[in-house]
Structure 1
Amino acid sequence: MKKIFKFMLLPALVLPLLFTSCDDDRDSNPTLDLSHVADGFVLNTPALAENNTYDLKSAKSLKLTCSQPNYGGIPYVVRYYVQVSIDPKFVSDPTATHTELATSYKTAEMEVNASEVNDAVVALFQAANPDTSVPDEMPIYIRLRAVIDITADSNLGETYSNVITLPSVKAAYEAPDAKFTDNLYLIGSSIQTPWQSWKAIPKVFGLEGNYYGVIYLPAGGEFKWGTENNDYRGINRLKEINDEAGAGISAGEEQNIKVANAGWYTLLFKGKITEDKKNIEWTLSVYPTKVYILGGSVEMSGTWAFDDAYALTAPADKNGKWVSPAFTASAELRAAVKVGDLDWYRTEFTVYKGNLFWRRYDIVNSWTETEGADYSVTTQVGQKLYIDFDNYTAEVK
């Protein structure tokens, strides 16, 4: 999810600029002349830009004027495209990172959509500085690309203006109301394919904004988390960390979450939407992993509490499988991960087509009744549950 930034906005300035155009070509038989396109054309710098601040979030438009490109004096209709950069290299290097705005203009005096400029500036800044707030003020750099407007896709007569600098600009990101995603995601040095696989972790049933997952970390292992694939969040994106497992958590390379001690860890992320509804504050609690079988498959009367007699045995590392005690009865499989003091039914799972499937609805009687027969596994006396928690695969045999 994107960061939210608040600013005290200055009144928008609409600064008048001088309009310069080329002399009329009075040749009775004009011809298209593209010999001057490499020379470019002039985009005027606002006379008051040096000592004023442009507030892009509050303004409706940003007024720009330019000279017309020299196409031999013929009054062709020219289409202008606005290009924006926050990189000072753009002044002399046209390959520097920049964005061309979607809206184009047909006159050399144009009211550029300030909202488009704002969004472009914010996107450029966040791409270059993913963990930094947009500053209150910054310089931006603008140039124009011009083409003869014959067709929408024509690049005939393509030419560029000089780059102007607006030394003081306010840009702000206005985020939509924050909401929780269906899953969180983990990536790390020992999670599936190291630093390539994004492992989805589910919601805690019935507790909005709570997510849990099981991972193995060797001594010195590191990981990141996110609300979607490729959303690399580190330890600095957590408001609080509770190490209930003695993992020895610290900041690793590039703000990775690092553990000093090897082990199987259960992560519980708790999100709280801020009062302005624009952001989510996250807390991470880390527990030693404990997994249990429950219900009628281990006692004829059924046990519905975490009982160490029915705890799965952990493998040495992520390559092994967790193994349950033998089932003592034929019944529907019921199993859960112990996560802090949460009730077992909030972290219950079943086996569906060889994969762990996490509880998402209120199961009054059975998985069969709530999700369907394919989500229900019937145990037999003497069978065991085997789980690969690195890949979330499982089987009863």
Structure 2
Amino acid sequence: MKSIYRIMMPVLLALPMLFASCDKDDDSNPTLDLSHVSEGFVLNTPAYAENNTYDLARSESVNLTCSQPNYGGNVPYVVDYYVQVSLDQSFTQGNADAQFKELASSYPKANMQVSGSELNSAVADLYLAAHPDESTVPAVLPIYIRLRAVINGSANLHLGETYSNFITLPKVHAEYKAPDVTYPDNIYVIGSSIQNPWNDWKVVPHLSNSMSSYMTIIYVPDNANFKWGDAKGNYLDYTSLRSVNDMAEAGITCNTDDNNNIKVAKGGWYTLLFKAEISADGKKISYDLTVYPAEVYLIGNVNNGVWEFNDSFKLTAPADASGQWVSPAFLAGGELRASVKIPGFAWYDSEFTLLKGSLFFANPKDSWEKDFGADYAVKCTAGQKLYIDFDKWTGEVK
């Protein structure tokens, strides 16, 4: 799920590559005018929406129509329309925190037959994510839809990006359909500088509140290489990923000269975040990799009750994988709580403890001892420090 909120600035520019060549060059040449994108465009409410129940699980498609965005000059630009769906009425009020899904398919015409199966999956996923204790979707519920439009035919994937109004389909039936594939319990990485190079598969556990998001921390020297896998021994490479987002400016590339390894130009400590997504038909999993600078923090009791990421309680990274990360001295006693900082996630999504000296990631609702048992609770005293070997995935308090 995601929230999209962008500031769009009016601009006037010519885009000759979007048009066929002309016999002569004069003032009649079309010019793209983006000064109206903030005005949006009109998504029509289907004529029978008020009295119709949309059975998405059994519908081949849902027909939506809209006006074309105003790009100036009455020029018939080729526009791609993307469907966004939400169960939250605040979505219709431009709330940036509203949860919604954008369907994978796009549509090149203002009269579109939107995939019923994609809509069904999106509605079911949104509902079950908001109600984790339930396993079925209500018989009927309202959904809210808007369109995102961009101009096709340019390297700029957001050229002319503009949004429609919102419409309500008041009576929708969706069903959760168990996919043929399932998310793996863990992902693994292996590489030239990870544990025993090219022999050990390092575990990448899923985040506590997301079975489809996985995280680990690795150290790599300059120009190091690694692979990943959805199981030990299943060597997957850069080309096996749907996307790679280098938020650490680490110089992540595909090493085409060496088996399409994931190559890291700039050495350092990095957090790897893998996000998995099951396709609408439930038959395939796609993976996206985002790389962040590694940041680790103490949380809670030993900080005198500071339950958030605070730089005063940030661990110091060693020069390379042979050293240990070291925390500031504990200000107070109590149960150890620590977390890896990942943009877009709360501290408790990537919280960990030490289980018999090894890192263990989970999210206790109350405390490690109460929710998991005494073996998971590390009792600390003021003045002690946390030491972590993120290469070997071990730690200690002393």
**Distance in 1 (alpha carbons) for counterparts of 2:212 and 2:270:** 20
Q: Pick the aligned partner of 1:256 from 253, 261, 280.
A: 261
Rounded to whole Å, the distance in 2 between the matches of 1:272 and 1:338 is 22
1:180 paired to 2:163 = no
- Aligned residue in 2 for 1:160: none
Work out the CA distance in 2 between the residues paired with 1:207 and 1:193.
Answer: 29
SS at match of 1:383: coil
**CA shift at 1:245, angstroms?**
0.3
Unaligned stretches of 5+ residues in structure 1: 1-175
**Match for residue 351 of structure 1?**
354
Distance of 2:281 and 2:260 partners within structure 1: 27
The TM-score normalised by the length of structure 1 is: 0.54
- Alpha-carbon shift at residue 261 of structure 1 (Å): 0.2
The residue type equivalent to 2:266 in the other structure is N
Q: How far is 1:298 from its partner? A: 1.3
Amino acid in the other structure paired with 2:385: K
Deviation at 1:208, TM superposition (A): 2.3
Letter in 1 for 2:319: A
* Partners of 2:180 and 2:272 in 1: CA distance: 26
TM-superposed deviation, 1:275: 1.4
Question: Among residues 262, 285, 289, which one is paired with 2:290 in the alignment?
Answer: 285
Secondary structure of residue in 1 paired with 2:301 = coil
3-state SS of the aligned residue for 1:346?
A: helix
Distance 2:364 2:340 in 1: 16
CA offset digits 1:141-190 (Å, max 9, x no partner): xxxxxxxxxxxxxxxxxxxxxxxxxxxxxxxxxxx811111100000000
Gaps of 5+ in 2: 1-178
Match of 1:380 in 2: 381
* TM-fit CA distance, 1:323: 0.1
SS class of match (1:309): helix
- In 1, the alpha carbon distance for the partners of 2:263 and 2:242 equals 16
Asked if residue 238 in structure 1 is aligned to residue 241 in structure 2, the reply is yes
Do structure 1's residue 271 and structure 2's residue 272 form an aligned pair?
no
2:219 and 2:289 mapped to 1: Cα distance?
16
Which protein is bigger by CA-based radius of gyration? 1
Runs of 4+ in structure 1 over 6 Å off: none
Q: What SS class does the counterpart of residue 254 from structure 1 fall into? A: coil
Aligned residues: CA RMSD: 0.9
* Deviation of 1:341 (Å): 2.2
The aligned length equals 218
Match for residue 197 of structure 1? Answer: 200
Residues 247-301 of structure 1: per-residue CA shift (max 9 Å, x gap)? 00111210100011001000000011011211111110000000000101111xx
Provide the C-alpha distance between the structure 1 equivalents of 2:356 and 2:208, rounded to a whole number of angstroms.
21
2:311 is equivalent to residue 308 of structure 1: yes
What secondary structure sits across from 1:297 in the alignment? helix
Q: Which residue of 1 aligns with 2:337?
A: 334
Which residue, 200, 217, 221 being the options, matches 1:218?
A: 221
The residue that corresponds to 1:85 in the other structure is none
Counterpart mapping for 1:77-116 below 5 A? none
SS in 2 for 1:178: coil
Within a 5 Å distance, the mapping from 1:116-127 to structure 2 comes to: none
Aligned partner of 1:312: which letter? Answer: L
Aligned to 1:390, the other structure's residue is in SS state coil
Indicate the percent of aligned positions where both proteins have the same amino acid.
Answer: 50
Q: TM-score, normalised on structure 2?
A: 0.54
User: Which amino acid in structure 2 is aligned with residue 215 of structure 1?
Assistant: I
Shift of 1:203: 0.4
Deviations 1:317-355 (A, max 9, x none): 011000000001111000000112210000000011011
Give the whole-Å Cα distance in 1 for the aligned partners of 2:231 and 2:286: 16
